[in-house]
Amino acid sequence: EAGVTQFPSHSVIEKGQTVTLRCDPISGHDNLYWYRRVMGKEIKFLLHFVKESKQDESGMPNNRFLAERTGGTYSTLKVQPAELEDSGVYFCASSLPTGLAGGYNEQFFGPGTRLTVL
């Protein structure tokens, strides 16, 4: 079974441009998460979808970030306009519905998208 996939693997853009990151979760995983790791820091939570609904947006840094999950399948994370401090690695993760996961919150991560804003 395919794992979580992310596209692109790398993106280099100029400050002020727009970038859209895509995440395809594991099939059947209702929960989808976005995290990011900026240089030298720990991985930090951005937001959590349950199917197409935003369950928790508490980690979104500002309104330049927009996440969507239309249809409850894949998700996109758009940064518009990008700033220098947005550079880092953006990870997507997915997990089973709570009822199917036996109460566990094991999250399956994708390989990440490395974003560089110049």
Partner 1 sequence: SQKIEQNSEALNIQEGKTATLTCNYTNYSPAYLQWYRQDPGRGPVFLLLIRENEKEKRKERLKVTFDTTLKQSLFHITASQPADSATYLCALDPIDTGRRALTFGSGTRLQVQP
Q: Which residues bind partner 1 (CB under 8 A)?
A: 4, 31, 33, 35, 41-45, 48, 55-56, 58-59, 91, 93, 95, 98, 103-112
**Residue with smaller CB distance to partner 1, 3 or 16:** 3
- CA-to-CA distance for 57 and 60, rounded, in angstroms? 6
**Residue with smaller CB distance to partner 1, 75 or 107:** 107
Q: Are 61 and 82 in contact (CB under 8 A)?
A: no
CB contact set of 98 (below 8 Å; sequence gap of 6+): none
The nearest distance, CB 81 to partner 1, in angstroms, is 26
Q: Are 99 and 29 in contact (CB under 8 A)?
A: no
The nearest distance, CB 15 to partner 1, in angstroms, is 25
**Residue with smaller CB distance to partner 1, 86 or 94:** 94
The nearest distance, CB 45 to partner 1, in angstroms, is 4
What distances in angstroms separate CA 81 from CA 13, 22, 36, 72, one per listed residue?
Answer: 10, 17, 17, 26
